[in-house]
Amino acid sequence: MSQPLGTTGFGSHPLTEPNGFRVWRPGRVNYRDAQISQVDLVERRLHWTHDLLILLEHPPVITLGRNTNRNNLLWDQGTLHAAGIECVPSHRGGDITLHGPGQLVGYPIVDLNHYRKDLHRYLRRLEEVLIRTLADFDLAGETLTGKTGVWVEGRKIASIGIAVRRWISYHGFALNIDNDLTVFEAIIPCGLPDVTMTSMSRELDRPVDKDRVAGSLISHFGTVMQRPLLGDFDDSTPSTQT
């Protein structure tokens, strides 16, 4: 996924219900490359019989959603450069956010034609996946009325921002596991001036096994989305994925 993937010619969009989902965990990926690859994967999803859940991590990057107020970027370019933080426009909805090592970033490539073409319902399902994952670690995640994402005792632990093309979703969520929270000082996260960002390790006051978090999230994704896990996604032979 470090390089944008090429496109391939396919037939028409399948009308059958997806038979499950596959998981791709490419590791740490540059945000720009991940965004380009997602656009290609959306086109491929139109011709698959399964959904795809991408789980990865980004180098430090601030992403500007389609509704970003530039006043929510608090550091100038010189300060960002000195901190090693890139600033990238994003296709997703929402305001400004920040990604970095220690987050579990999830990009579900999901055919919403089979979820009533209901974006709000889909967002609520993503929140439920995150809340159930946190519960496996004895953390009580919750949603706040009128705000997208997941909180723990009023502190924001997961952000969500999606994009949709031809009713195929891309972009998704970022769950803070053990990332550096001080860099959120560079922004007003999600345009919420009074928000306090937190992470699983901060709330639990101990290290958290990232692979265990990913495994828990994959399981709950299947349950909440009502799709069985079909196995790993092999990006080297995308046209054979069924």
Look at residue 204 and tell me if it is in a domain: yes
List of residues 6+ apart from 78 with CB closer than 8 A: none
- Whole-model pTM: value is 0.90
Instruction: In whole angstroms, give the CA distance from residue 117 to residue 168.
Output: 9
Look at residue 1 and tell me if it is in a domain: no
Q: What is the pLDDT of residue 18?
A: 84
Residue 47's alpha-carbon distances to 9, 44, 210, 212, in angstroms, are 10, 6, 32, 32
Look at residue 14 and tell me if it is in a domain: no
Q: What is the pLDDT of residue 33?
A: 97
Q: What is the pLDDT of residue 236?
A: 58
Look at residue 29 and tell me if it is in a domain: yes
Count structural domains, the chain: 1
Contact of 66 with 91, CB cutoff 8 Å: yes
Look at residue 114 and tell me if it is in a domain: yes
Mean pLDDT of 141-151: 96
* Cα 111 from chain centre: 16
List of residues 6+ apart from 185 with CB closer than 8 A: 74, 75
Look at residue 3 and tell me if it is in a domain: no
Nearest to 122 by CA among 167, 178, 57, 62: 167
Look at residue 241 and tell me if it is in a domain: no
Write the pLDDT tens digit of every residue in 105-127: 999 999 999 888 999 999 999 99
Give the CATH number for residue 125.
3.30.930.10
Q: Please state which of the ranges 37-41, 91-95, 195-199, 234-238 shows the lowest mean pLDDT.
A: 234-238
Look at residue 224 and tell me if it is in a domain: yes
Catalytic residues: 190
Range of the domain at 29: 21-231
